[in-house]
Structure 1
Amino acid sequence: MSHIHCINPQCNATNSVDESICQECNTPTTRRYLWVMDGEAQCFEIQTLIDDRFYVINDKVVLDTKPQKIPTFGDDIPSEIIPYQRLFTQKLHLPQVYSAIANTWLLEHQSTPINDSGELVYPHIFPTLHSSWAEASSLRQLNWLWQIGQLWFYLKKQKVLSSFLAEDNLRVDGGIVKIMELSPDNDNKPSLQDLGNLLEPFVKDSQEIIQEVLTNIVLSLQQKLITSTGELIKILDQALFILGEEYYQRKYHILTTTDPGKKRGNNEDACYPPALELKENVSGINTLTIICDGLGGQKGGEIASNLAIKTLEQELTQIYQKQLKDTLYSQNWTPLIDKEKILSALSEANDQITEINNAQGSKDRDRMGTTVVLTLALDHEIYFGHVGDSRIYLITSQGCHQLTVDDDLASREVRLGYSFYREMTSNPQAGALIQALGTDYAKNIRPHIKRIIPDEDCVLLLCSDGLSDFERVEQYWRQEVLPILGEKVSLSESIAHLLDIALTKNGHDNVTIGLVHCQILRMDAQKQRGLSWATLREVLPDLPQPDLSAVTLAKKDDFFERYKYWIAFFLVLVGIILGVFYQSKSSESPSNPSSVNSLYHG
C-alpha cells in the first residue's frame, strides 16, 4: 500500500495509510477514496500509481495519496460532466467531480466508510441497496424509497434517470441513498413505471409491517396509477409519519457553545439555546437549535446575529404553541405546513434586520447581516434551514455528511457549470457570500429548507466557519463526535474538544457550535393504529387502488422459483419410495405367468 501525504500545508510529511494521524504534526490522516467513472480503472494495473498520485485499489476505486494538492482538470468540460455540476446541491446523495486523469474522471463521495486501518469497509466504497435491503428496519426501507422519490425529481430535470436502472449503481451509506455515477438518458426515457419494476424485487424482502403498503406502491407505479414523484412522496410521507409515530420514539439532547476566538476582541456569533445550557429529553419546538455568524463590523454583526436568534425563537415558539395540535397530530398532516412556518420565521427575522439597515441608510458592505443554520425536530423528521456559509453536519455510526451547501461564490460557480469545487478552493474569492440574512428584503433572499428522516441514532453538528474552515469537522468527527453515539463521551466533553480544535487549529474567527444528539427507540408494541393501505386511505382519499391480481401471480411464480429444487427433490424421493414399495409387492406375488396376465386382461 502506498503512503499518504499529510494534508497540513505546513507539514506535508508522508504517512502509512493505516496511520490515523500524521506522525509529524498529529493532523488526522485524510483518505479520499475516489470512484472512477465508467470503470476505467480496469485499464490500470492494481497497486500502481497513476500520475504519481492516485493509487489503484481495484477496478472502480483509487486513493489520492496527495490530498494536500489541488486536483487537475481538463480545459474542456464534456457534456456528461455537466449534470454533476447542476446537481451540486444534491451532493449528500451524488458524487462530485474530483479530478481528471488519463482520459477519465474521478468522482468524490462524501465520507466513505473505512475501518480502523484506514481501508475501505466495502471494496466498491458502499454496499448495494439490494444487498442491504433485507436486513434494514422498516423505517429505513421506507426512508430509502422516500429518498429515491426525491432524487427521481432532480435527476429527471438533468435527464440522467438511467442512473437508477443499473443495480450496482444504486448503493447506500447507512440510511443515505447513494448513486455512484450519473448515466445520461440519451434515447432512453425511464418512467415511473420503470421505477416500479426496479422496486418490485424488494417487496418480498421488505419488513412485514410495510409489505402491503410497498406492494400497493409498486403495483400503482407499474399500472401508471402514480404519475408523478409528488404523488409518490405524498404517500410515503404519510406512511413514514404513521410508522415513525406509532412504532418509534425519539429523544433529543442539545448543547451549544460560542467563543470570540484568538484574534477577535468581540463575538459576532450567537446561538440558541444559550451557550452551555444543556437540554435533555426534549421534543418538538423545544429541539430548536440555531447558530448565527454576524456580518458588518463589530456592532452590526452582533446586532444582526442576536436579533435573528431572538426573532426566530419567538416566531417559531409562537407558531407552534398556537397551532401544535391542529397541525402536528392532524390526519391532514403534511410536511409543507412545517416548511412554510420555518420560511415565515426566517423571512420575519430577515426583514427586521433589513429595516434597521434601511433606517440607518447603510449601503453595500456597511449593511449588517448574519448567516443562520437551524434545526427543528418535528415528529419523525428533522427540519433544517440555512442562509450563508454556516453549516450542518449529520454524523452517524457510518460517516459524517454535510447537509448544507454554502451560499458562497465557489458553490455558485459549480452550479452554473463554470468550475469544480476542488478547483475553486485555490480562488481567494471562493468563500465570498452571495447571500446572508438581513442584507436585502425577504423576497430577494432564498433560504434553503429541507428535511431528513433519522432512522438510527445520530448527531447533528451545527457550526460557524470558525470550526468548519480547513475541513476541521471532516478531520476530527471520528475522534470527537462519533464517541457520543457509543456513550463514551458526553455532549459537554465533545463540544469542549471541538471548541479547542477550532481555537488551536483555526483560531482566526469567532467560533460557535451546536450539538443535537438524536436517539431512536423502537417501541415493543404499537400505541394506536397499524400501517396498511386502508389506513393511508383514511388520510389520502385519492389513494390509487391497483389491481392486486398481479401480485398474486408474482407470489406463485416466486414460490415455485424459490423452492423448485426442493420440489424436484421431493418428487424424486416419492418416486423412489413408490418404486421400492411396488417392487416389494411384486416379490410377494405368485410367479405364475397366467396369474400375472390376468391382472391386465381381467
Structure 2
Amino acid sequence: MEIAHRTNVGLVRDLNEDSAVLVRREDGSVLAIVADGMGGHQAGEIASQTTVKVIESTLQNGSSQVSTEERTNSILNAVGKANAEVFYLSQNNEQYQGMGTTVIAGIMDSSEVVLGHVGDSRAYMLHKGGLYQLTEDHTYVNLLHKYGQITTEEAKNHPQRNMVVRAIGTAEDVEVDLIHTPWNPDDMLLLCSDGLTDMVAEREIGLVLSSDITIEEKADELIQLAIQAGGKDNISVILLKNTEIF
C-alpha cells in the first residue's frame, strides 16, 4: 500500500487544530485518522489531539483474522472512548468547555476499508477514474439540503455551512456512522478535513488523484490547491493507494 500524510495550518488560522495520524499495524493493515478540532483558546487542538491519541492507542494493534463486523465494532469502541475522554476534559476544565472535534478513522487492508465517522471531515474513494464520497457531512446545511429545503448551489454558499450538528466530545454519547467497502488494486482512498473540501472542488480533487504523479506529490498538490484558493482553514490530507503487493 502506498501512503502519504500532510497537514498545514493554512493562511488564516494562527493554530493548527487538525490532528492526523497514519500508521501501519502489526497485521499489515493501515490505521488512518483525521480529526478537525473546534473551540477557542487551543481547546480545539486539545480535542483533536486527544481523539487521535485515544483511537490510535486503542486500534494500533490488530489481527488479520477478524471479520468485518469485529473490525467495525473495534472502531466504534475506539471512537466511543475518545468521545468519553474529550467530554470529560470539557466538563472538568473551564478553558475546554464546549470543545469538540470531527473524526474520521479507518482501518484498511488489501481488500477492505472500514471507517468510523463523526462530523464533516470526509472520506473519498477513487475507483476506475471516478471519485465517490463515502461519508455524509453531519452539518446543519447538509440536513437542509438532504430534506430539499435548499439547493446544492445554496448549500455551497450558505453562511452556516460549517455548523456541525454531530461532533466528538460535545455530549456524553455520540452517534457514529460506520462504513465498510471493498476496494481493488489501484483504488485510492482520501481522508481529509474540510480545510480541503471547502477550498477545492471535487472535480479538481479527482483530477489530482487521477494524475500521473506520485502519491506524495498528489498530497502536496492538494494542500497547495487549498492554499492557493485562500487557505481559510487548517488542511489535513491522508492518501492511501491499494497496490497489488500489500
TM score, norm. by length of structure 1: 0.39
Q: 1:379 to 1:397 in 2, by over 3 A?
A: closer
Select 2:102's aligned residue among 349, 354, 371: 371
Describe how 1:305-320 pairs up with structure 2 within 5 A: 305-318=48-61, 320=62
Alignment of 1:299 with 2:27, yes or no, is: no
Q: Secondary structure of 1:273's match?
A: strand
Alignment of 1:347 with 2:80, yes or no, is: yes
1:469 corresponds to: 198
- Residue 380 of structure 1: how far off its partner (Å): 2.4
Q: 1:291 to 1:461 in 2, by over 3 A?
A: same
**Distance in 2, Cα, partners of 1:420 & 1:315:** 41
Whether contact under 8 Å (1:266, 1:298) holds in the other structure is no
- When the two structures are aligned, how many residues end up with a matched partner? 246
Select 2:182's aligned residue among 444, 449, 453: 453
2:70 corresponds to: 337
Q: Name the aligned partner's letter for residue 336 of structure 1.
A: E
Q: Name the aligned partner's letter for residue 290 of structure 1.
A: I
Whether contact under 8 Å (1:285, 1:317) holds in the other structure is no
Whose radius of gyration is greater, 1 or 2?
1
Q: Secondary structure of 1:498's match?
A: helix
Mark the runs of 5 or more structure 2 residues left unpaired by the alignment: none
Q: Name the aligned partner's letter for residue 429 of structure 1.
A: Q
Q: Secondary structure of 2:198's match?
A: helix
**Distance in 1, Cα, partners of 2:109 & 2:80:** 20
Select 1:358's aligned residue among 91, 100, 109: 91
Whether contact under 8 Å (1:270, 1:309) holds in the other structure is yes
Alignment of 1:273 with 2:4, yes or no, is: no
Q: Deviations for 1:240-281, whole angstroms, at most 9, x for unmatched residues?
A: xxxxxxxxxxxx12111111111111111111028xxxx7xx
**Distance in 1, Cα, partners of 2:94 & 2:13:** 27
Q: 1:391 to 1:506 in 2, by over 3 A?
A: farther
Q: Deviations for 1:24-66, whole angstroms, at most 9, x for unmatched residues?
A: xxxxxxxxxxxxxxxxxxxxxxxxxxxxxxxxxxxxxxxxxxx
Select 2:229's aligned residue among 491, 498, 505: 505
RMSD in angstroms over aligned alpha carbons? 2.4
1:481 corresponds to: 209
Which one has a larger percent helix, Structure 1 or Structure 2? 1
Q: Deviations for 1:528-550, whole angstroms, at most 9, x for unmatched residues?
A: xxxxxxxxxxxxxxxxxxxxxxx
Whether contact under 8 Å (2:126, 2:187) holds in the other structure is yes
Whether contact under 8 Å (2:43, 2:95) holds in the other structure is no
Q: Secondary structure of 1:309's match?
A: helix
**Distance in 2, Cα, partners of 1:297 & 1:477:** 34
Q: 1:474 to 1:385 in 2, by over 3 A?
A: farther
- Residue 413 of structure 1: how far off its partner (Å): 2.3
Whether contact under 8 Å (2:129, 2:210) holds in the other structure is no
Whether contact under 8 Å (1:285, 1:377) holds in the other structure is no
Alignment of 1:410 with 2:141, yes or no, is: yes
Describe how 1:41-190 pairs up with structure 2 within 5 A: none
**Distance in 2, Cα, partners of 1:516 & 1:374:** 13
- Residue 418 of structure 1: how far off its partner (Å): 3.9
Q: Name the aligned partner's letter for residue 404 of structure 1.
A: T
Q: Name the aligned partner's letter for residue 493 of structure 1.
A: E
1:565 corresponds to: none
**Distance in 1, Cα, partners of 2:95 & 2:147:** 31
Between the aligned residues of both structures, percent identity stands at 28
Alignment of 1:438 with 2:166, yes or no, is: no
Q: Secondary structure of 2:227's match?
A: helix
**Distance in 2, Cα, partners of 1:424 & 1:299:** 29
Q: Secondary structure of 2:105's match?
A: strand
**Distance in 1, Cα, partners of 2:26 & 2:188:** 15
Which one has a larger percent strand, Structure 1 or Structure 2? 2
Whether contact under 8 Å (1:411, 1:421) holds in the other structure is no
Q: 1:448 to 1:425 in 2, by over 3 A?
A: same
Whether contact under 8 Å (2:37, 2:45) holds in the other structure is yes
Mark the runs of 5 or more structure 1 residues left unpaired by the alignment: 1-251, 522-602
Whether contact under 8 Å (1:394, 1:403) holds in the other structure is yes
Q: Deviations for 1:204-260, whole angstroms, at most 9, x for unmatched residues?
A: xxxxxxxxxxxxxxxxxxxxxxxxxxxxxxxxxxxxxxxxxxxxxxxx121111111
**Distance in 2, Cα, partners of 1:451 & 1:507:** 31
Q: 1:476 to 1:372 in 2, by over 3 A?
A: same
**Distance in 2, Cα, partners of 1:285 & 1:439:** 34
Q: 1:284 to 1:381 in 2, by over 3 A?
A: farther
**Distance in 2, Cα, partners of 1:283 & 1:459:** 22
Q: 1:406 to 1:497 in 2, by over 3 A?
A: same
Whether contact under 8 Å (2:3, 2:239) holds in the other structure is yes
**Distance in 1, Cα, partners of 2:161 & 2:17:** 22
Q: 1:407 to 1:263 in 2, by over 3 A?
A: same
**Distance in 1, Cα, partners of 2:27 & 2:198:** 31
**Distance in 2, Cα, partners of 1:416 & 1:353:** 31
- Residue 511 of structure 1: how far off its partner (Å): 0.8
- Residue 517 of structure 1: how far off its partner (Å): 0.9
1:170 corresponds to: none
**Distance in 1, Cα, partners of 2:216 & 2:155:** 36
Q: Name the aligned partner's letter for residue 506 of structure 1.
A: G
